[in-house]
Amino acid sequence: MKHDIHRLPIDLRPADGRFGSGPSKVRTSALIGLASTGSTYLGTSHRRDGVRSVVHAIRAGLSELYGLPDGFEVLLGNGGATAFWDAASFGLIERRSEHLVFGEFSGKFASVTTAAPHLDDPLVIESPPGTHPAAVADESVDAYALTENETSTGVAMALNRPVGDGLVLVDATSSAGTLPEDAESFDAYYFSPQKAFGSEGGLWLALVSPAGLARIDALRSRWAPASLDLGIALDNSRKDQTYNTPALATLYLLADQITWMIDAGGLEAAAARGSAAASIVYGWADRSEIASPFVTDRSIRSHTIATIDIDDRIDAGQLTAVLRAEGIVDIEAYRKLGRNQVRIAMFPNIDHDDLSRLTLAIEWAAGHLAGA
Ligand SMILES: *Cc1c(COP(=O)(O)O)cnc(C)c1O
């Protein structure tokens, strides 16, 4: 490849080349804040006030950001959203769950409950990548598993509570922090902080409704591995701690980001910025000769993760390799989707100028490959 000769022109070069869907761009100012804690934070006990005050700020900050009504609580634990699926199979699903499966992440939760010997086989409603299915109320179901943003395909789904009293469990890992939510529409709204919250992985957070808390309490008598026991997680969360040792850097960066989001106008403002980011990226792809949005229904195009098909004459793998050599990283398609595609995160930390430059850089790289 000749890209070492044809360097990306300076005016097409994003100031920050991180466009990955997670781990995602972390603000340098948050890192500087973390470094400036010096000897007072990292390396101190997570059971003491220094760290517990950070956990307290996270729990209070998320309640404020989401305007959670009385009776809702913010829970947290180690292991990320993936561990939360395992925990939910013990502590939130009583007998049978319904799963809307439309990509890799929604499919993984369905696999957890299918394999769980203590649960009935779930009701799985599937639709092809690039679309999403609709929830169907079912009397045998006590928990509905929805995914607000399917990170593997770039499909967003509006939250609608099915009729009946099943709990609504929402995987919001790549949408949390970018959209205002009506607390009526979920019982557990859970996510990991290395996506829109621009922190590190290894942690899960869940906004849980009174009905969700009641279910956790009712299932305390069911055996669960202690590290996946939501009753234990609830008791520890109420003390502003986790059951076992968390990564303190993750907590710091998350607390910093929540403050930053509140100061920037909260979720309404975040949603407006997300729409503007989406018009930059999808607007370009709609106009481009070499690119087109993978999700054809505009109303379900994600405003945090854009999946953009690349014309077959250009190999998207080569395209992303050229850009990677120029410092533009992690826009490769989700590997299991298997399309000639790029995937671009538009999280709140990603500057709109950089998104515009990225679209120009992609055109430049495509032109470069076509001429190569
Ligand atoms: C990233 C992601 C996950 C997995 O998160 P981990 O922190 O790796 O467990 C789950 N669901 C969605 C929608 C995601 O984007």
Q: What is the pLDDT of residues 17-30, one digit of tens each?
A: 999 999 999 999 99
Q: How far is CA 41 from CA 35, 76, 247, 278, in A?
A: 9, 20, 11, 37
Does residue 142 contact residue 93 with C-beta atoms inside 8 Å? yes
CA of 139 to the centre of ligand 1 (A): 29
User: Residue 371's pLDDT is what?
Assistant: 80
Give the tens place of pLDDT for each residue, 275-295. 999 999 999 999 999 999 999
User: Other C-beta atoms within 10 Å of 243: how many?
Assistant: 17
CA of 9 to the centre of ligand 1 (A): 35
CA of 192 to the centre of ligand 1 (A): 6
Pair 162, 90 in one domain: yes
Domain containing residue 89: 29-263
User: Residue 335's pLDDT is what?
Assistant: 87
Q: Whose CA is nearest to atom 7 of ligand 1?
A: 80
Q: Within a domain: residue 199? A: yes
Does residue 123 contact residue 99 with C-beta atoms inside 8 Å? yes
| Full DSSP string of 197-220 | T---SSEEEEEE-HHHHHHHHHGG
User: Which atom of ligand 1 sits closest to the CA of residue 147?
Assistant: 13
Q: Considering only CA atoms, which of 54, 70, 64, 79 is closest in space to residue 240?
A: 54
Q: Within a domain: residue 158? A: yes
The answer to whether residue 155 scores a pLDDT higher than 80 is: yes
Does residue 89 contact residue 142 with C-beta atoms inside 8 Å? no
* Residue ending a domain, choose from 240, 263, 286: 263
Pair 231, 126 in one domain: yes
d(CA 138, CA 207): 24
Summarize the confidence of residues 323-339 as an average pLDDT.
Answer: 94
Ligand 1 pocket, Cβ-based, cut-off 6 angstroms? 22, 80-82, 105, 147, 151, 171, 173-174, 192, 195, 201
**Count of domains forming the chain:** 2
Specify burial of residue 372 (Cβ count, 10 A radius: 0-12, 13-18, 19+).
exposed
User: Residue 175's pLDDT is what?
Assistant: 98
Q: Whose CA is nearest to atom 12 of ligand 1?
A: 173
Band of residue 323 on the pLDDT scale cut at 50, 70, 90: very high
CA of 108 to the centre of ligand 1 (A): 10
Q: What is the CATH number of the domain that holds 332?
A: 3.90.1150.10
The answer to whether residue 4 scores a pLDDT higher than 60 is: no
d(CA 227, CA 281): 41
The answer to whether residue 86 scores a pLDDT higher than 90 is: yes
